[in-house]
């Protein structure tokens, strides 16, 4: 979010005209490192499209979408022009707020300015301001009036007790943007005040954005603390804004008229009694908004210009709303509505002008408000939701497989599977866009949520794998997420069906998660979409295809968690997917269930005829179509050998991993939360080679404080009992992945501001995390590493912070290093190795950056193989540079657990392999089978091969 800061205000500036003012603003933005010089062209182009004059002496210059690539860092700079600058049409600007943003973040800033641009005029105050603090005071606005209108009254709501009724009141305040998410937790439910006549009062001053009062009544009689509960006031308190209303309420109760509120059947009755804002009984007209980006600055300005041509009050609100609406003549208030495509606008005008004004406004919206618009679906027209996606039929047909064909995919879960094919096709579900009524649609949604929650509970009870139970527990939490349901309920108010409102909100929430840098965290978006599809199927009565009882090989484009319901290890011999990578849900589920699997095998597998016999080797990533009898016999023999090998590996899992010629390799575990540590140690981990700290931050509504983080890190260190802990500092990025850390959208988030780049923009959060880590050590071995380091300046800045804090919080056994994930870091490893204590190679990202292949790409992900010689060369360079300076190197990516990769990583000199807990025993056993000298020769030969496929074949033949 863009914040107003006194340090960013440049007082007493002068400019001859708007062009000069923009040039001066451009110089300031460039000098402060927010934008490149080319951003000035965007400022000028934006003014050419339409003036950015906001009103009351304020303009908000910002660039065009075409110049967003000129923005380095999101921010604002304010120029004060006491003599004023002519912004055109006689409009004088005393304050220009220059915005540098890569997305539509300025809309949020406009919403914050709305209250400042209320009834009063700021022009004179801005002109006479003498200090930045005076400017901030003006922009913060005068004390606000209490918000109390039809949007904040809800009568006859479904609630079973006092707490639920209070939550309904909080939702109204949230929807009216009166409170922030923390308001609900701050309400002292145990200190509710009875007013008489079954009316109760609750209030809080915490997490309040603007003062507001909500009033809710239950649909049926309730009791609270032994007294009737017929109505509840929930106050978001700020200053004295509520005093006048409170006096009026007290007088009403003294007069014995409380039942007028508790038994009210319309919000107008409540508002008239309390002196709230009552909607005017004026002529109105409704029209759907078709603009792709909703009512943003340019179309909103067209509306204001039309409205200003009429002498009289014209207001607008969302259809179905009981609010008084906002003035169509106020650009800032139009923007604060946040209306988006598909919502219906309702215009209300004073009777003398309604006959001319309303048709003019409706016609302007229908014509697009100066923008090209795509028609909206007709009311009731069916929309389609695809339950799963897959490559087009043409791609499947072109890549069709035949008997005897051999396919190489990504080894996802070890084991050999033999069985007939079952290709599961995606489901396409039709559903209506519009619903019967908000009440009925919410009831339908709640019934579906409850049913799916119960179904998932059954799956949890029946599941034997902890990792799958964790996935489904997360799904249940999503179904019970009050914020998610609340947002859906808001969408229902615009007339959407339960299906449409649910899927729109799921898509919005998932998109926020999909920009996350860490692939394991991005899986939360896949979880969310999977939950969304399951609920949609329940709403529409669509049932999943039934699987046969005989053992088979399941073939899909990608396996979602909800498909686990049919993944009985006794019936599913193997899993084969066209898309996905080693970190996809298909791979995770298959490994958890112990089912052999190959992922990323290409679209041809989707064209296999039902019951075609397959031979699948999940360790080598090899698939054979319609194998011969001899091939089947060899496969069965090898399967027996592997099963015995696994049994022996488990027996010796606590023993160290040492090659036959005495070369030791440390085997550690990758974990995402403290609770996973005991299992990792029991599986034979010699330490934690990667603790992902993102979940600590994602599980809180605000940045976790030092005490919260320190408790989590201590749990890990205590469970390790003296074994080393390698911690990766916060590694997030993308479009608002954390609710308390908004970030601009990026066209290519994997090449944007993330990892250490992002942490250094918020040194306060990074310092808190480092303090928590250092304080938790207590003499135990702690290793801190920074992610996504691409140049030495990033490293030195981060390391300097550690050294400064280390004076205050000394740690006896501390090492500080970096992750090698960017090719540039590997290429300058000889320089970095002089300063770091260790390197840890993240092969997942290093592979995708080196090969320029997104590891989540639907068709290319199968080619993102870390055994490509280019990736191996970068690993070798890193190890050589580190060892030259006496530093150690680990590998914490998926490659570390790849049976064909282990000999090469050992041969290249990697000192530590960090893998998932269940892979530890087999990786240790693999190392013990090797000869270090032979692995060194093997690695050098592999570097001379042309591609990953050739490397895999070469290692399989010689090792």
What is 656-958's CATH topology?
Answer: TIM Barrel (3.20.20)
Fold agreement (6-140, 393-426+546-627):
no
φ, ψ for residue 38, nearest 5 deg:
-65, -10
Neighbour-count burial for 878-889, b at 16+ CB within 10 Å, e otherwise: bbebbeeeebbb
> Which residues 6+ apart lie within 8 Å of 420 measured at CB?
550, 552, 553, 610, 611, 612, 613, 614
Give the pLDDT of residue 951. 92
Annotated domain spans of the chain: 6-140, 150-274, 284-366, 393-426+546-627, 429-540, 656-958
CA distance 692 to 677: 12
The model's pTM is 0.50
Total residues found in the chain within this entry: 959
CATH of 6-140, one of 3.30.200.20, 3.40.930.10, 3.50.50.60, 3.30.1360.40: 3.40.930.10
Whether the CB-CB separation of 557 and 586 falls below 8 Å is answered with no
CA distance 750 to 758: 12
CATH of 150-274, one of 1.20.1730.10, 3.20.10.10, 3.40.930.10, 3.20.20.60: 3.40.930.10
Query: CB-based burial of residue 753 (10 Å sphere; 0-12 exposed, 13-18 middle, 19+ buried)?
Result: buried
CATH of 393-426+546-627, one of 3.90.1150.10, 3.50.30.10, 3.30.300.30, 3.40.50.720: 3.50.30.10
CA distance 320 to 291: 20
Q: Which two tokens stand for residue 602?
A: 């290409």
Give the pLDDT of residue 384. 47
Q: Report how far Cα 167 is from the mean position of its chain's Cα atoms.
A: 25
For the chain, list residues with pLDDT below 50: 1, 115, 119, 380-389, 515-522, 735-736, 858
Give the pLDDT of residue 96. 92
Tell me whether residue 700 is one of the annotated catalytic residues.
no
Three-state SS at 335: helix
Give the pLDDT of residue 519. 46
| Residues 555, 561, 567, 569, CA torsion sign | positive
Q: Which two tokens stand for residue 204?
A: 């809080």
Give the β-pairing of 227-229 and 222-224: antiparallel
> Which residues 6+ apart lie within 8 Å of 594 measured at CB?
413, 415, 569
> Which residues 6+ apart lie within 8 Å of 313 measured at CB?
280, 327, 349, 350
Phi-psi region of 84 (alpha: psi -120 to 50; beta: other; left: phi over 0): left
Tell me whether residue 62 is one of the annotated catalytic residues.
yes
Strand order of the sheet with strand 326-327? 284-288, 344-349, 314-318, 326-327
Query: From the candidates 538, 892, 935, 959, which is the catalytic residue?
Result: 892
Longest dimension (CA), the chain: 97
Tell me whether residue 296 is one of the annotated catalytic residues.
yes
Give the β-pairing of 782-786 and 725-728: parallel
Query: CB-based burial of residue 31 (10 Å sphere; 0-12 exposed, 13-18 middle, 19+ buried)?
Result: exposed
Q: ∠ CA 423-424-430 to the nearest 5 degrees?
A: 145
Give the pLDDT of residue 145. 77
DSSP 3-state helix, strand, coil percentages of the chain (rounded to 5)? 45, 20, 35
Give the pLDDT of residue 1. 43
Closest CA to 519 of 864, 895, 844, 859: 844
Query: Other C-beta atoms within 10 Å of 795: how many?
Result: 21
| Residues 454, 513, 853, 905, CA torsion sign | negative
> Which residues 6+ apart lie within 8 Å of 544 measured at CB?
427, 537, 562, 563, 565, 566
Give the containing element (helix H, strand E) for 594: none
Domain spanning 284-366, CATH architecture: 2-Layer Sandwich (3.30)
Tell me whether residue 892 is one of the annotated catalytic residues.
yes
Give the pLDDT of residue 142. 53
CATH 1.10.274.10 holds for 429-540: yes
Three-state SS at 785: strand
Query: From the candidates 296, 475, 517, 868, which is the catalytic residue?
Result: 296
Query: From the candidates 585, 868, 935, 959, which is the catalytic residue?
Result: 585
């Amino acid at each position: 979010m863009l914040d107003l800061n006194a340090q960013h205000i440049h007082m007493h500036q002068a400019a001859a005209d708007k062009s000069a003012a923009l040039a001066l603003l451009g110089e300031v933005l460039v000098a402060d490192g927010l934008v490149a010089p080319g951003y000035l062209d965007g400022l000028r182009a934006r003014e050419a499209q339409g003036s950015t004059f906001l009103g009351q002496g304020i303009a908000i210059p910002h660039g065009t979408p075409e110049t967003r690539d000129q923005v380095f860092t999101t921010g604002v700079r304010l120029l004060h022009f006491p003599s004023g600058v002519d912004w055109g049409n006689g409009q004088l600007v005393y304050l220009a707020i220059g915005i540098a943003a890569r997305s539509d973040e300025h809309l949020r800033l406009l919403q914050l300015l709305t209250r400042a641009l209320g009834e009063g005029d700021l022009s004179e105050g801005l002109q006479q301001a003498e200090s930045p603090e005076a400017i901030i005071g003006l922009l913060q606005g005068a004390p606000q009036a209490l918000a109390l209108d039809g949007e904040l009254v809800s009568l006859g709501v479904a609630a079973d007790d006092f707490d639920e009724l209070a939550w309904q009141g909080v939702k109204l305040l949230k929807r009216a943007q009166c409170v922030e998410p923390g308001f609900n937790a701050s309400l002292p439910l145990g200190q509710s005040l009875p007013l008489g006549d079954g009316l109760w009062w609750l209030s809080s001053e915490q997490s309040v954005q603007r003062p507001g009062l909500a009033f809710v009544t239950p649909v049926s009689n309730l009791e609270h603390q032994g007294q009737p509960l017929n109505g509840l006031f929930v106050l978001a308190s700020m200053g004295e804004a509520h005093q006048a209303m409170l006096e009026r309420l007290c007088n009403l109760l003294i007069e014995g008229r409380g039942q007028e509120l508790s038994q009210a059947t319309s919000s107008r009755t409540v508002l008239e009694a309390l002196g709230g804002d009552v909607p005017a009984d004026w002529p109105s007209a409704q029209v759907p908004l078709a603009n792709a980006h909703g009512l943003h600055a340019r179309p909103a300005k067209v509306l204001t210009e039309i409205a200003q041509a009429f002498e009289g009050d014209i207001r607008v609100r969302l259809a179905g709303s009981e609010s008084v609406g906002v003035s169509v003549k106020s650009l800032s208030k139009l923007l604060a509505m946040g209306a988006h495509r598909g919502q219906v606008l309702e215009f209300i005008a004073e009777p003398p002008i309604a006959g001319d004004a309303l048709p003019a406004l409706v016609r302007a919206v229908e014509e697009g408000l100066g923008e090209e618009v795509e028609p909206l679906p007709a009311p009731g027209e069916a929309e389609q939701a695809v339950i799963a996606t897959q490559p087009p039929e043409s791609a499947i047909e072109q890549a069709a497989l035949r008997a005897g064909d051999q396919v190489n995919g990504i080894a996802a879960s070890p084991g050999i599977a033999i069985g007939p094919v079952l290709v599961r096709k995606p489901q396409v579900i039709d559903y209506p866009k519009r619903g019967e009524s908000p009440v009925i649609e919410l009831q339908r949604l709640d019934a579906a949520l409850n049913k799916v929650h119960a179904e998932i509970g059954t799956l949890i009870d029946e599941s034997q794998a902890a990792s799958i139970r964790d996935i489904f527990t997360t799904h249940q939490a999503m179904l019970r997420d009050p914020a998610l349901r609340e947002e859906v309920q808001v969408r229902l108010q615009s007339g959407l069906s339960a299906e449409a409102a649910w899927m729109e909100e799921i898509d919005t929430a998932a998109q926020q998660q999909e920009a996350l840098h860490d692939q394991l965290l991005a899986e939360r978006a896949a979880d969310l979409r999977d939950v969304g599809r399951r609920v949609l199927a329940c709403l529409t009565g669509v049932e999943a295809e039934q699987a046969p009882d005989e053992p088979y090989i399941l073939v899909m484009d990608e396996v979602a968690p909800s498909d686990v319901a049919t993944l009985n290890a006794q019936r599913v011999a193997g899993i084969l997917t066209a898309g996905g990578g080693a970190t996809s849900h298909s791979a995770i589920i298959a490994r958890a269930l112990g089912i052999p699997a190959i992922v990323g095998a290409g679209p041809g597998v989707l064209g296999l005829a039902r019951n075609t016999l397959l031979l699948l080797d999940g360790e080598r990533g090899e698939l054979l179509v319609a194998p011969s009898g001899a091939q089947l016999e060899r496969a069965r023999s090898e399967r027996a050998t592997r099963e015995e090998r696994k049994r022996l590996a488990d027996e010796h899992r606590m023993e160290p991993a040492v090659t036959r010629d005495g070369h030791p390799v440390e085997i550690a575990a990758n974990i995402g939360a403290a609770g996973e540590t005991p299992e990792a140690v029991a599986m034979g981990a010699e330490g934690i080679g990667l603790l992902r700290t993102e979940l600590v931050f994602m599980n809180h509504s605000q940045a976790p404080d030092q005490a919260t983080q320190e408790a989590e890190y201590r749990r890990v260190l205590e469970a390790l009992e003296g074994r080393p802990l390698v911690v990766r500092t916060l590694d997030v990025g993308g479009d608002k992945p954390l609710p308390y850390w908004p970030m601009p959208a990026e066209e290519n988030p994997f090449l944007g501001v993330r990892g250490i780049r992002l942490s250094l923009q918020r040194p306060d959060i990074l310092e808190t995390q480092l303090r928590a880590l250092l304080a938790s050590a207590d003499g135990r071995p702690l290793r801190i590493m920074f992610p996504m380091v691409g140049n030495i300046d990033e490293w030195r800045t981060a390391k300097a912070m550690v050294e400064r804090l280390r004076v205050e919080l000394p740690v006896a056994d501390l090492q500080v290093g970096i992750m090698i994930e960017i090719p540039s870091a590997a290429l300058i490893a000889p320089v970095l190795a002089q300063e770091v204590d260790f390197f840890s190679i993240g092969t997942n990202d290093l592979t995708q950056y080196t090969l320029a292949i997104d590891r989540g790409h639907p068709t290319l992900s199968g080619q993102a193989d870390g055994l490509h010689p280019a990736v191996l060369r970068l690993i070798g360079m890193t190890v050589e540079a580190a060892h030259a300076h006496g530093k150690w190197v680990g590998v914490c990516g998926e490659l570390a657990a790849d049976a064909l990769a282990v000999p090469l990583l050992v041969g290249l000199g990697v000192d530590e392999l960090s893998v998932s807990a269940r892979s530890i025993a087999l990786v240790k056993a693999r190392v013990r089978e090797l000869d270090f000298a032979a692995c060194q020769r093997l690695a050098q030969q592999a570097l001379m091969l042309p591609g990953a496929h050739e490397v895999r074949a070469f290692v399989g033949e010689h090792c």
